[in-house]
Amino acid sequence: MTDPISDFFNAWEISDSAQRAENIANSVTPEVEYDDPRTPETIRGVDALCQYVGMFSENAPGWKADVVKSDTINRFTRVTVAFSGIGPDGEQKIQLGQYFVEKSADKISKIVGFVGTGQPD
């Protein structure tokens, strides 16, 4: 069985928009909700979420989002994601984000993301 959380974040590096949208749609519920520091309001629905992830893919070509740590209690999962790729200076960069994910029927129903991991710098 595939993991919808890893499948969702793996979709961030897919350059083909149709394939990326299919991967996202297969990992989330139709009424998915998504929030992170770059979203001024909650993103609702698969199409809007696909557009948002598409902006990442367009603005950071070659970058990927890998789940590096997760733990689950009931239907809630805390996930640390490493966003990595070549920065404007030509050097490899890694930025960590932490997400809290709620699942319904083995698909993601809500994602709330934060910059960093909550650890002191």
pLDDT (tens digit, 0 to 9) for every residue of the chain, 121 residues total?
Answer: 579 999 999 999 999 999 999 999 999 999 999 999 989 999 999 999 999 999 988 888 889 999 999 999 988 999 999 999 998 899 999 999 999 999 998 999 999 999 888 777 6
Q: Hey, how many other C-beta atoms are within 10 angstroms of the C-beta on 87?
A: 13
Domain annotation for the chain: domains and CATH numbers:
4-113 (3.10.450.50)
Summarize pLDDT for 23-36 with one digit per residue, the tens. Answer: 999 999 999 999 99
CB 60 within 8 A of CB 86: no
